Amino acid sequence: MIKEIKIEGMKCMHCASAVKSAIEKISGVNSADINLENKSATVDFQETVSLEEIVSAIENQGFDVI
């Protein structure tokens, strides 16, 4: 499934790539595309992944999910 997640605090490409790789490290995540202007991540993941896993991966990088 594909979900768009709103993320607070990303300022530059470094933030975006940190979030992207943190999300993509979760097994069962196919891809994560970060949009800095929209402050969002579009995540394509399998049913085995819970939204909480994705949210905590983002929060572990120091960003807030809104």
Give the shortest CB-12-to-Cu ion separation in angstroms: 3
Q: Contacting Cu ion (CB under 5 A), which of 4, 5, 9, 14?
A: 14
Q: How far from the centroid of its chain's Cα atoms is residue 38's Cα?
A: 13
Among 9, 15, 36, 49, binds Cu ion (CB under 5 A): 15
Per CB under 5 A, does 47 bind Cu ion? no
Total interface residues for Cu ion by CB under 5 A = 4
CA distance 56 to 63: 9
Name the pairing type of β-strands 40-45 and 2-8. antiparallel
